[in-house]
Amino acid sequence: MPANSNSQVGNPSRLFAPDALRGLLMALMALDHASLFVAHKHPQGEMWGGAFPAYSDTLAFLTRWVTHLCAPGFFFLMGVGMALLAHSYHQRGWSRWAITRHFLIRGAMLIALKLLVVNRAWELTPGGWGIQLYIGVLFALGACMILGSLLLGTLYPLLGVWLKPTFLLLTLVLMIGTELLVPGPSQWGARLGLLRLLLWVPGGIFGAQGQTVLWSYYPVLPWLKLVTFGMVLGFWLAKNRENALSRAWKLGLAFLAAFVVLRCLNGFGNIRPRMGSTWIDFLNVVKYPPSIVFTLMTMGINLLLLALLGRARERAQKWLRPLLVFGQTPLFFYVLHLFLYAALGKLLTPRGTSIPAMYPYWLLGLAVLYPLCLWYGQFKARQPSGSIWRLF
């Protein structure tokens, strides 16, 4: 999952807010996957074309909607972590190539882990899987880390004070440009080449017998904008924590205001128009690829949460320690939680369950994961700096 600064759980040198926000998003992600593996109620769709999910049940919608914060938050926080780590390593005398190589290796490991291990977990999906090669979030995170490392390695030593404005401009270009490249909903079902599926349009490649040869939910470029934006905030945090959190608060409010305006206009930025006139229809936006309104809505909330967590007092931080533990062991949590909830579903709810009845299983999974993540964070902290375990 998002880049981790290779520090031990509870290390006072780490910033509390990004780790705590990451931990909260990990817990919400587990809710989404408990809905899939335990309740068998995970919605399909939210794509640029094809059938779009409709909800008649408020709890079912909110259970899905709150988890929309996760994917953009992970890419954003990965960018934050990359910038903080690059700044730290640069201050310690690391060469430009050494910093780039660190991220290149980690990005490649994320992709390999996705293809070799994580896809085995998705094959346990209730009702069968049937996808031969799945391009999911971990693949896109790894690819974005590789591209982000090349951007950092190229631009960080050269631009100086122009670095952050350049990355903000790149974020804007990616946000608008990738949306312009998305086909219209009427083109759903048209053949898409492999390069388009990997880079900017979600969809699939199908065999002669109708089997799904490849399915891509997370093409790289639409999600890269969140990494470049995260890098900007990371450099702000490295320079002045209080100013950065103040900017996060203001940007969060501005993003949510822009979301409301674009959603009301119901045109560019939505990818496809609202399906109706209810409040659920207003919030039910295109995620694949992340439409501009999806990005503004989710990142507006994530930025406000980051600012709030950044101002949490020491007593509140103690109560939020489980989030810190999850947030500092994100990759371990991610791989483990998929197999855990798949096992809970197979053993305890083989026929599925209602959404309300799924929630205790979600909390049970978090209770099992907490001591395991706590142990792993302490184990990783004891490893030498060059150990491969430090990359996870």
| Contact (Cβ atoms closer than 8 angstroms) between residue 163 and residue 155 | yes
Q: What is the pLDDT of residue 385?
A: 63
∠147-148-149 over CA atoms, to 5°?
A: 90
Q: What local confidence, expressed as pLDDT, does residue 8 receive?
A: 40
What does the pLDDT read at residue 7?
Answer: 39
CA dist 122 and 106 (Å) reads 22
Q: Is 192 helix (H, G, I), strand (E, B) or coil?
A: coil
Express each pLDDT in 169-213 by its tens digit.
Answer: 999 999 999 999 999 988 998 889 999 999 999 999 998 777 899
Specify the residue for token string 């693949």: 139
CB atoms within 10 A of CB 56: 7
Q: Tens place of pLDDT for every residue, the chain, 392 residues? A: 554 544 344 444 478 999 999 999 999 999 999 999 999 998 888 999 999 999 989 999 999 999 999 999 999 999 999 999 988 888 888 888 888 999 999 999 999 999 999 999 999 999 889 899 999 999 999 999 999 999 988 887 777 778 899 999 999 999 999 999 999 988 998 889 999 999 999 999 998 777 899 999 999 999 999 999 999 999 999 999 999 999 999 999 999 999 999 999 999 999 999 999 999 999 999 999 999 999 999 999 999 999 999 998 888 888 999 999 999 999 999 999 999 999 999 999 999 999 999 999 999 999 999 999 999 999 888 877 656 666 66
C-alpha to C-alpha distance for 149 and 165, rounded to whole angstroms: 18
What is the per-residue pLDDT for 15? 87
What's residue 267's pLDDT? Answer: 95
* C-alpha–C-alpha distance, residues 201 and 356, integer Å: 34
- Count of CB atoms situated within 10 Å of the CB of 212: 15
CA distance 354 to 358: 6
Does the model's pTM come out above 0.75?
Answer: yes
From CA 128, how far away is CA 75, in angstroms rounded? 29
Q: Where are the alpha helices (DSSP H) in the chain?
A: 16-34, 58-65, 70-91, 96-113, 119-122, 137-159, 163-180, 194-199, 220-239, 241-265, 279-283, 292-310, 314-319, 321-327, 330-348, 355-381
pLDDT of residue 9: 43
Instruction: Tell me what pLDDT residue 387 has.
Output: 60
- Number of alpha carbons in the 13 Å side-chain half-sphere of residue 190: 14
**Of the candidates 208, 181, 209, which has an alpha carbon nearest to the alpha carbon of residue 195?**
181
Please tell me the predicted confidence (pLDDT) of residue 388.
63
- Contact present, 59 and 367 (Cβ < 8 Å): no
The model's pLDDT over 101-150, given as tens digits with 9 standing for 90+, comes to 999 999 999 999 999 999 999 999 998 898 999 999 999 999 999 999 99
